[in-house]
Structures are given as C-alpha cells and as structure tokens.
Structure 1
Amino acid sequence: MSFKKLHPAIKEKLASLEISTPKLFQSKSIPVIKSGANVFCIAPENSGKTTTLILTTLQKLKCEEVGVAPRAVVLVENNDKALQLFDTFELYTKRTSLRLYVADEKQHIDLLKSEIFEGVDILIATPKIMNKLLLLEGLNTTQLKIFSIDDADFLTKNTSTSDLMLITQSIHKCQFVMYAEKMHPSLQRFEDYFMPFAKTVSI
C-alpha cells in the first residue's frame, strides 16, 4: 500500500513533510484500520505507530469539522504524552478545519468542560481525565467514530485499566484501535469487553 488511497488533504500534508513511502507497519495497518474493524496494532518502537494513528484519525474524520461533540478520542498514558501528541497532531491538522483539543490535567476541569462544549473534533486525554469529564457530564460520546490508545503498554501496569473500562461503558458504537509494542494477555482480554471481533496487525 502507498499513501494514494488517503484523503487528498492528508496526501498534500505528507508531501509537504517529504513523506512519500509508508513504513512496513503502515502498509499493513492502515488498510485494516480504514476498513472500520477494531484493531490491535503491535509493532516495535519507531515503526510508525503514532503517525498511523494520526493519519487514520484524519482519514476517518475526512479532514473536516462536523458538529460540536468529539468524533475521535486518543488516550495516552500521562499528561506529558498528551501534550507531546497534541504538538505532533498539530503538524497534520494545520490548514484543515479540524478542531484538535488536549485535556490538560493542569487546567481546572470546569475550563476543560466549557472549552470542549464549544466544539472539538479530536480529543487527546489521559484515561483519568476523560473518566472525570464523563462523570461530570462534560463530554458527549454519542458522535464518536474512532477511539485510539497510543502506546497502550501502560495499561498492563497501572490503574488506568479501571478508568478505561468505565469510559468504554459509556460508548455504544465506535471503532477501537489499540497500539502497543507487545500483545500482552491483559491487552488481549479487552476484546471481550469492548473490542469484539478485533483484528491484529503485527510486525
């Protein structure tokens, strides 16, 4: 697979970043994610997982804003990673109408709620802050199309799993994509909870 079947705005951005050839993992995973299936994406560091996450999110949302409720959520391990991913995402969302938002844990929850209500297409958050927003009715999940977890290996060793389970209980119809370096048994079991019929792409 090349990048030819992606949205024209994505291809234009890739060209401007001088990215012309997909990595092996991207060639294998992007078509599967585009199909709409739930997917476990397993690959070592520097395989292009985060770029794949960004590209498939933009593809799913057709590079344009719609409505006010988030249509894509990306969960990350901690606040620092959320801010880093926001910066990386922004390289690709510039010159599109997509509204990218990071739920910064250092900000007051009421501020996060009010800013999200103004309209967001892509929300980047930690499991903890997203669960808090849901508990306080500060987040509408009815329009979600794709829910990704970046570097999901962290779910094998901390308390974020319980937050994730609570979050997914409030989402009724959505594509889930999980990125990790290894397929841990504790990640595999999520298939029984919120990733039915999940496919696995690994290199």
Structure 2
Amino acid sequence: MPFKKLIESLKAALTQNGITKPKPLQKAILSKIKGGHSLFVIAPNDSGKTTSIVISIINKLKNAFEDAPRALIFVKDKQAALDLSDLFNTYKKGTDLRVYCAYDEHNIELQREEIYLGTDIVIATPKRLNKIFYLNGINLNKLQMFVIEDAEFLFRNNNFADVSRTPESIERCQYLIFSNKFDTRFERWQDSFMSNAQIIDIT
C-alpha cells in the first residue's frame, strides 16, 4: 500500500521525518493490515516492523473515540514502551489520539486511574497489563487491534502465558504478531484465536 492511501496528517508527519516511500515489508503488509487481516509478520531487524505498527494503528484509529482503548501493544519492558510511545507521538501529530504506557516500574493504582480516564492506544508489558486487568482497571471490550512488538521476549519469564490469557477477554479483534522468526510455540495461537492468520515472511 503506497503512503498516498494514508490519512493526510500521517502522510505529512512521515514526510516531515524523511519517510516518503514504504519499505518492502511495508508494501507487503500495510494493505493487509488495513483490510483487517490478522498476521504473523516475520522479518529481520531494521526492516520497518515497528514503524509499520505505528503507521497501521494511527491510520486505522485516526482520532480519539470514547474512553476504552482500541489498540493494545505488548512490549518487552519499560524502555521499549517509552520508545514506542515516542514514535507514536512523532507520527500522530494532527490527530488527537491518546497513547498510554503501562509498565512494572510505576504505581499500579495510578496507572489504573489514568487508563480509566480514557486512552486509545495502550502500550504495556504483559505482567503489568494482566495485573491492571484483574483489578478491573482496563476495558478490553472495544479493542480492535492486538499487537506484539518484537515477540522474541515472549519466551522468557512466563510472558507467553501472560499474553495468551488476554484474548480470552476479547470478543473480536485483529491480531498482529511481529517477530524475527516464527517460533513453533505460535502454533498454539494458530489453533485458537489466530486460526485465520496469514504468515508474512520476508527473512
């Protein structure tokens, strides 16, 4: 999908940051994501995976709407959450989309209250998201996009199990998993909530 099909504010932000044409990975996946497909995206570092996440979510959500989040992104740690939030803030100019980071090194009651006040995009570590959810601190009923950035971290510290529990509370959603390789453990998700997902592999 060429960038000319993106919303105007996003195209302008990309151009201002020196991005005028999609990378090969983005050509392969952006139109599929826009079309609502669930994907396992397998690609090497520096191929544009993280930027693809940001572009796709901004282009789909467009502007703030109600209070419950419509996109949830799992990341490995606090720094990854903050880095991704910075990238969203760079490219969401011209929209009023609200981005919130939930990670372990922060007061959980405060995070719960701040999410309750309203956000469109939540970037979270698995364990902190689960804790907030079980405190009834986040409503996943409006979720449209469930994303995992750099999924290799899932296979440490029980993160895979933590993330696997989340779809049990989601009725209908688009799932996007970004990774350097397809791990056989992803087959469990293919047998459950990602049964219709496509695998896009450009390694």
Deviations 1:118-172, CA, capped at 9 Å, x for gaps: 1100000011111111111000001111111000112234410111121111111
- What is the root-mean-square deviation in Å for CA atoms of aligned residues? 1.1
Secondary structure of residue in 2 paired with 1:91: helix
Q: Report the AA paired with residue 74 of structure 1.
A: I
* Unaligned runs of at least 5 residues, structure 2: none
In structure 2, C-alpha distance between the alignment counterparts of 1:147 and 1:9, rounded to whole Å:
23
Q: Report the AA paired with residue 124 of structure 2.
A: A
* Unaligned runs of at least 5 residues, structure 1: none
Task: After TM superposition, list the pairs within 5 Å mapping 1:169-180 onto structure 2.
Answer: 169-180=168-179
**Structure 1 vs Structure 2: percent identity of aligned residues?**
39
Number of equivalences: 202
Note if contact 2:73-2:123 (Cα within 8 Å) is conserved in structure 1: yes
Note if contact 1:76-1:127 (Cα within 8 Å) is conserved in structure 2: yes
Deviations 1:158-198, CA, capped at 9 Å, x for gaps: 41011112111111111010000111111233111221210
Task: After TM superposition, list the pairs within 5 Å mapping 1:138-153 onto structure 2.
Answer: 138-153=137-152
Task: After TM superposition, list the pairs within 5 Å mapping 1:125-164 onto structure 2.
Answer: 125-164=124-163
Runs of 4+ in 1 over 6 A off after TM superposition: none
- Alignment correspondent of 2:165: 166
- Alignment correspondent of 2:195: 196
- Alignment correspondent of 2:51: 51
- Alignment correspondent of 1:11: 11
In structure 2, C-alpha distance between the alignment counterparts of 1:37 and 1:21, rounded to whole Å:
22
Q: Report the AA paired with residue 189 of structure 1.
A: R
TM-score by length of 2: 0.96
Secondary structure of residue in 1 paired with 2:3: coil
In structure 2, C-alpha distance between the alignment counterparts of 1:40 and 1:188, rounded to whole Å:
11
TM-score by length of 1: 0.96
In structure 2, C-alpha distance between the alignment counterparts of 1:129 and 1:2, rounded to whole Å:
36
Larger CA deviation: 121-130 vs 164-173 = 164-173
Secondary structure of residue in 1 paired with 2:113: helix
Note if contact 1:69-1:121 (Cα within 8 Å) is conserved in structure 2: yes
- Alignment correspondent of 2:122: 123
Q: Report the AA paired with residue 75 of structure 1.
A: F
Note if contact 1:25-1:202 (Cα within 8 Å) is conserved in structure 2: no
Note if contact 2:38-2:197 (Cα within 8 Å) is conserved in structure 1: yes
Secondary structure of residue in 2 paired with 1:179: strand
